[in-house]
Amino acid sequence: MKIRTHWGDNQQAEVIHIPKKIQEDINERGFHLYKWISPDEVKLSIERDFLWVLKVIWIPLAIISVLLWFFSGLNIIVFFATIFFGVGIMFLYLLLLSIRRSRLLSKSAFVIMTDSSISLWWNIHKLSDISGMKKDLDTVWSTFEEELFWESRLHESKKWLTGDVLEQLFWWYKAIFSMAENRTFIRNDRDSAGWMLLIIALYTAYIAIMACVYFIWVLFLLILWKVITQLNTWYLMKRGASVIKINHLFGEIDISSDEIQWKKQALKTLLLRARENDWKDWLLLDINAGIESINASAQNAVLQVLELKNSITNSRYSDMFRFEVYNSWIKKQISTPLQDILSLLESTRDTLLLTQENITEQIEQTEKSELQWPLKMQLTRIEMQIKETENFIPKLQNSIHSLR
């Protein structure tokens, strides 16, 4: 399946392919929750922007600091005050950026998809016309360097910017030493050496300050991000509670389906062994325990299915769902396995009734009481198992009926 999501300069919409796994998920159950932007990516984007700010202001701030220091009569306090003022502005900018990124995360963390619609930033768009998503998609892409259904490029950007900043740092060291070798800016060698040592000392101090700023910012960002992550998690859980719950229930039903399938196979094996061993006592106990376990799983699955349907119906995404697809998925995951178990138990009951009839005839045809006794014991076991099976069949029928 293709959806139109990206526009070129000529306004002709290009198309992207929904990944096969996601498309299969949508086709099978009519719903998929795609987790696009994560809190870690927001943190990484801020680290990337911090490096970009360093790259941009590194040298200008150093030059301004030196010039103000020179014009202030070589007052070293002015030099450091200028640096800290520039760093303060940078911190304020990045703090505001963190808040803006958090707001953007709250809008782009989840992309909800069905076979007919897609929802981003809590807005629902038909797949046949998603032109209204262009601005939102471009905003996320330009901020986090991650197209929908693609990997983020933030790690590469951060690595590239780190290399640029380090290269810039050592390039100026090389430039200063190159000027020292050529004696290009002061004629007196003694004065030149003194000024050169002073410039190197100031530049080294500046680098040390900026290095401290970097590590302080990383620590500050870590603490800040712990707080912001908690707030974002709370907000996302509250704002996206319905879709998170829907996605969770889909997952729970998958687990219940696997559980029922496994228990069905285990019960089938026990029933086969019981038939081959004349319904021995210990096998009957295991069979009854298996039947009770299946009953509990069936009732739990029914509650999950009803809760899921109710959650979908009462959510803002109800118009996105095509319940024909959903019902088909529920039938495959829950109804069909339960129907198979019901058929298995009905077949077992019929076999037990036939066995009961045969044993009764044998008792009637046996004259000696000592030979009747084991047959009567076997008949008692069969009758007890018939009762257990018949008690469970209506419960299972009710569970299946509740899913319709």
- CA–CA separation, 113 vs 317, rounded Å? 10
Q: Does 219 score more than 50 pLDDT?
A: yes
Please give the residue range of the domain that contains residue 328.
242-402
Q: Are residues 221 and 256 in the same domain?
A: no
pLDDT for 225:
66
Please tell me which of 165-169, 242-246, 302-306 the model is most confident about, judged by mean pLDDT: 302-306
Q: Does 341 score more than 50 pLDDT?
A: yes
Q: Which of 145-159, 333-347, 360-374 has the lowest mean pLDDT?
A: 360-374
DSSP 348: H
pTM here is 0.70
Q: Are residues 215 and 298 in the same domain?
A: no
Q: Are residues 211 and 278 in the same domain?
A: no
- End of a domain among 239, 258, 292? 239
103-118: string of b/e by CB count within 10 Å (b at 16+)?
ebbbbbbbbbbbbbbb
Residue among 29, 32, 34 at smallest CA distance from 257: 29
Neighbouring CB atoms inside 10 A of 186's CB total: 15
Q: Are residues 147 and 275 in the same domain?
A: no
Q: Does 28 score more than 80 pLDDT?
A: yes
Q: Are residues 211 and 288 in the same domain?
A: no
Q: Are residues 112 and 233 in the same domain?
A: yes
Q: What mean pLDDT do residues 72-81 have?
A: 80
Q: Are residues 361 and 235 in the same domain?
A: no
Can you tell me which residue has the tokens 């399946």? 1
- CA–CA separation, 238 vs 266, rounded Å? 41
Q: Are residues 102 and 248 in the same domain?
A: no
Q: What mean pLDDT do residues 342-371 have?
A: 83
pLDDT for 261:
92
Average pLDDT over the chain, rounded to an integer: 79
Please tell me which of 27-36, 80-89, 96-105, 113-122 the model is most confident about, judged by mean pLDDT: 27-36
pLDDT for 3:
46
Q: Does 109 score more than 70 pLDDT?
A: yes
Q: Are residues 330 and 275 in the same domain?
A: yes
Q: Which of 41-50, 171-180, 391-400 has the lowest mean pLDDT?
A: 171-180
Q: Are residues 217 and 137 in the same domain?
A: yes
- End of a domain among 212, 239, 266? 239
CATH number assigned to the domain comprising residue 254: 1.20.58
- CA–CA separation, 386 vs 351, rounded Å? 9
Q: What mean pLDDT do residues 239-253 have?
A: 83
Start-to-end CA distance of the chain, whole Å, equals 30
Number of domains into which the chain is organized = 2
Q: Are residues 396 and 306 in the same domain?
A: yes
- End of a domain among 206, 239, 272? 239
Q: Does 194 score more than 70 pLDDT?
A: no
